[in-house]
Structure 1
Amino acid sequence: MLFQGDVFLYSATPASTELIAFARELVEEAFEGRDPETAQHEMPVEEFAALLAALKPRFIHHPTSKKIIATLLDEMGMALDRTYFDVPRLRTSTSGHYLDSGISYAYHAHRDCWYSAPFCQVNWWIPVYEVVPENVFALHPQYFDRPVRNSSGRYDYAEWVAVSRPTAAQHVHSDTRDQPKPEEELDLGSELRLVPEPGGMLLFSGAHLHSTVTNTSGRTRFSIDFRTVHIDDVRSRAAAPNVDATCRGTTLRDFYRADDLTRIPEELAAEYEAEALAKLT
């Protein structure tokens, strides 16, 4: 159903509640007594960006984050020896265009699969604090199986990891990194905005077109996202349709098996890389 474009919304669970509690602990420690959701109104944007540049990697790479994700997947009924996840990322969306680039990038309409994600990828999105329609993100389901002219053909994941990703915190007032974008005017009027409770979970295919909502709430939104693949889908190529992605490389090497944190078998990642390259030649 996910590979056909369906979207699933789940209530908070004990493990997802534990995950956002851990995120809040790190966030509130970093902001040193300021309200993290309104601190943007009190801080120079350069100071805010520098704080996030330290905070976000701390959450992403903390062993507790991975441990709770594995517990959450088990709680949701996933087979831990067949399910792989990438590191959970702490995301922010500031209000009033205070910080829309670099470390707090406001995403234009895109598919994760334009960024070399496998088409069997499932995206998980979890708000850390309360969210409202004015500060979440939008899905554009009318484009799930409808091609969009885009610049993914210029994107190479290995190059992004080596060159572009490490410079994120340097892009404060604008973001000059070349990222896959639509190259035609889109009709985004029938967007879908879902508003989970803190710790609630939104699951959707990485092939869905989605975008950051222009935040007009007056508060910074904090959320967690991560991605999963099932090894049987990776092997069999069971997946959502590829209607328009022409990028190079694969993100599969970023995934950890939920039971022991081993990586996706290298031969599978190499196969996906070769297949992506073959489609361009």
Structure 2
Amino acid sequence: MDLKPELLSVLQGNTKKFVGPKSLPAFLKLVQSTVGTTFPEADPRRLVSQLRKEDFFARMIRLRSQIKDNPVVPQTFSPIWQELGLDPHEIYLDAIRIRCVPARFQEIEAAGPVAFIHRDPWYANPQCQFNLWIPVYSVPKEAGFRIYPSYFNQPIPNNSNQFDYRKWLDAGGFQSANNSSSKPQLFPSPDFDPIEPSPLDVFADEGEMFLFSSHHLHGTSPNTSGFARFSLEIRFVLESHLTNRIGPEKIDNRSQGSTLSHMYRLTDSRPVPDQLIKHYERKFDFHQNKSDSLARLR
């Protein structure tokens, strides 16, 4: 399987669902074992809804750390990159993160931000970022997430202008239990619910993968399946795309900062050079400022 020829089309709005390469089952077995150790009493997908909220949160903190911070996890995933036709020397990775969306989470008021529709760049993610979504266990349509394709090139009013990545980190960052700030985290979202004539509902069987651009407007759907959804989220960029300033324009993103500062190269764990980040972001800031100026003239 060679994904590389399709990556530019993905950054232009196409998506790809496919059967994972031969190394994926061994990787999933490792992840499933870790999930099973965290929720040993019964099938984790059923057990989650039976736990007290505090117990569930405590277990998820441990599970997230065991996936994100355990060096064995990216090592086990390493052959998958090559089987997908991607050069590890080119890849800068955010992290391999696990997520759990409990059944009927939409009925819990505090879980509101889980379902916020958004573009990842509203959270200061780069325009050339790829999102690789992998179900840990099979995910039915009733537990998946939704993409709003018609908004890929269509701006939508939102509050991303209030998002500052440095403040976000002070408030704990992504999937963190530590909050050293007195202010709550801001979760950017549209000013109104989008009307999508052709929504794309994303769900998949165990062993499948789904690749899409982080620029797509998307959000978690209500989970009416009766089972918790366990899935992996892998966000990455290619160095050549940063160098050549490739990616969709910032049509409605006004966030501050860049998550590129916390991505690392697969082969040597080095961070993205500051100069490369500035080189890349300068192009998009220029076009954004030009667009803003034209809007004011109108």
- TM-score normalised according to structure 2 size: 0.85
Match of 1:117 among 110, 125, 143: 125
For residues 53-132 of structure 1, the aligned pairs below 5 Å read 53-97=61-105, 101=110, 106-132=114-140
For residues 1-281 of structure 1, the aligned pairs below 5 Å read 1-97=9-105, 101=110, 106-165=114-173, 169=177, 177-188=185-196, 190-271=198-279
How many percent of aligned residue pairs carry the same amino acid?
28
Count of matched residue pairs: 277
Helix, strand or coil at the partner of 1:27: helix
Aligned-partner Cα distance in 2 for 1:112–1:165: 14
Aligned-partner Cα distance in 1 for 2:115–2:11: 22
CA RMSD across the alignment: 2.5
CA shift for structure 1 position 168 = 5.0
Kindly indicate whether the alpha-carbon contact (under 8 Å) linking 1:248 and 1:276 is maintained by their aligned counterparts in 2.
no
Q: 1:11 to 1:81 in 2, by over 3 A?
A: same
Q: 1:182-201: CA deviations, max 9, x gaps?
A: 01331145321132221311
CA shift for structure 1 position 136 = 0.9
Q: 1:41-84: CA deviations, max 9, x gaps?
A: 32112111111111111111110122133321111010111122
Kindly indicate whether the alpha-carbon contact (under 8 Å) linking 2:67 and 2:73 is maintained by their aligned counterparts in 1.
yes
Structure 1 outlier segments of 4+, above 6 Å = 273-278
Q: Which sections of structure 1, spanning at least 5 residues, go unmatched?
A: none
Aligned-partner Cα distance in 1 for 2:275–2:77: 25
- TM-score normalised according to structure 1 size: 0.90
Kindly indicate whether the alpha-carbon contact (under 8 Å) linking 2:18 and 2:208 is maintained by their aligned counterparts in 1.
yes
Q: 1:198-226: CA deviations, max 9, x gaps?
A: 13110010100010010001110000011
Aligned-partner Cα distance in 1 for 2:83–2:202: 23
Aligned-partner Cα distance in 2 for 1:66–1:99: 33
Q: Which sections of structure 2, spanning at least 5 residues, go unmatched?
A: 1-8, 293-298
Helix, strand or coil at the partner of 1:95: coil
CA shift for structure 1 position 86 = 1.6
After superposing the two structures, state which structure 1 stretch, 50-59 or 262-271, moved more. 262-271
User: Which has the larger Rg?
Assistant: 2
Aligned-partner Cα distance in 1 for 2:60–2:38: 8
Aligned-partner Cα distance in 2 for 1:169–1:83: 28
After superposing the two structures, state which structure 1 stretch, 207-216 or 7-16, moved more. 7-16
Q: 1:203 to 1:57 in 2, by over 3 A?
A: same
Helix, strand or coil at the partner of 2:211: strand
Helix, strand or coil at the partner of 1:106: helix
Kindly indicate whether the alpha-carbon contact (under 8 Å) linking 1:93 and 1:100 is maintained by their aligned counterparts in 2.
no
Counterpart of 2:88, as a letter, is L
Aligned-partner Cα distance in 1 for 2:69–2:109: 23
Kindly indicate whether the alpha-carbon contact (under 8 Å) linking 1:45 and 1:99 is maintained by their aligned counterparts in 2.
no
Kindly indicate whether the alpha-carbon contact (under 8 Å) linking 2:91 and 2:237 is maintained by their aligned counterparts in 1.
yes
